[in-house]
Structure 1
Amino acid sequence: MSQYREIITKSVVAKGRKYTQTHHTILPPNKPSGILGCWIINHEYKAKKSGKKVDVFGTYEINVWYSYQNHTKTAVVTDKVEYKDVINLTYRDDDCEGDDDVWVKVLQQPNCQEAVISESGTKINVQAERELTVEVTGETKVTVAFHDYEDEWDCERETAEEHYDK
């Protein structure tokens, strides 16, 4: 005869995922004549659950290497960007307790897709992308069947005799 027991455990109870494209305008100190490179570094973020959503707050730096004075000199301009991504959650278990533990995984680090000189010729337009996924863990119940008898084991009986002399 088997019986059932409920075990309370922590598990992933909700997930969410978001892909974001952003457009940034950077004003360098010199009028650019060409874009030599663009890279995004120092990505940092933190997350907080808010109802059935997760707010991810983050920052990163956009670095654009450009030429100026008719391609005779070069410089790098840096712009620090702040962002907030609101990620909707899909729940597997609506009856969970303590679901405030949030885990963020970066699927695509912020990355420059395109960097071009604006039509006015004084600014640099940067298009960037990033993709994040979040998981929320909480306490949930698992029902397991168990048997209240012990299986018979075929074990050999061992004997031992020990002597301790002082």
Structure 2
Amino acid sequence: MSFLDQEYREIITKAVIGKGRKFTQDTNTITPSHKPTSILGCWVINHLYNAKIKADDVVEVNGSYDVNVWYSYNDNTKTEVVTERVIYCDHIKLSVKDDHTLGDELEVFAKVIQQPNCLECKIASHDSKIMVEVEREFLVEVIGETKVTVKVDPNGTVVDDDDWDFELNDDEFEDVDPDFLAEFEEE
């Protein structure tokens, strides 16, 4: 009995063949132009990133974001905002990986679960630098071609659109407001 006699078919399709997730906390050192007295605020903006396959089971996410720190100096008599660009590289190991793929063309999708966010911002105790603790989290998926085997139903039916009944019944006509358009013409 051959493969086709058993009523199975092979379908070649694109599917998720790998997934990974990584949570990262970094401490970034910001150098202000004045010796800070106190921290008044901190925020992270302008997050950019891209992802690519680095090895068989690792996706590399390269990105950057701007850290803005509003601080006071000169014994809390003046304020300033310092902005520094932070560049990072995260290596995300695939926790789920299917090695049964066809071909070498793989696509990588990276989704931010947690945008870079300031957890803590403080003045370093030993010098006039500012320490900013930032968190971020990514989910990555690798898409590739794979083969799926399906069983064919020998008694399956083919449904034609003409077989569907799209006629309205009397109950549906009761809900129709005949003056609906007239209300808009009066306004």
Q: TM over 0.5: same fold? A: yes
- Asked if 2 retains the 8 angstrom alpha-carbon contact of 1:2 and 1:148, the reply is no
Q: How does 1:43-82 map to 2 (within 5 A)?
A: 43-51=47-55, 52-82=57-87
1:109 matched to 2:136? The reply is: no
Quick one: structure 1 residues 70 and 4, their matched pair in 2 at CA, closer, same or farther if it must change by over 3 Å?
same
Q: How does 1:1-166 map to 2 (within 5 A)?
A: 3-51=7-55, 52-97=57-102, 98=104, 100-148=106-154, 151=157
Which structure has more helix as a fraction of its residues?
2
Distance 1:41 1:101 in 2: 27
TM-score by length of 1: 0.86
Q: Deviations over 1:74-121 (max 9, x none)?
A: 100011010000000133421112452000000000010000011135
Q: CA deviation at 1:143?
A: 1.0
Q: CA deviation at 1:54?
A: 0.3
Distance 2:111 2:78 in 1: 40
Q: CA deviation at 1:2?
A: 5.6
Q: Deviations over 1:27-68 (max 9, x none)?
A: 100111110000000000011102211010000010000011
CA RMSD of aligned residues (A): 2.2
2:29 maps to a residue whose letter is T
Distance 2:144 2:53 in 1: 12
1:129 maps to a residue whose letter is E
1:14 maps to a residue whose letter is G
Alignment identity in percent?
51
2:138 maps to a residue whose letter is L
**Structure 2 stretches lacking a partner, 5+ long:** 164-187
Partner of 1:163: none
- Runs of 4+ with >4 A deviation: 148-153
Quick one: structure 1 residues 141 and 29, their matched pair in 2 at CA, closer, same or farther if it must change by over 3 Å?
same
**Structure 1 stretches lacking a partner, 5+ long:** 157-166
Number of residue pairs aligned between Structure 1 and Structure 2: 155
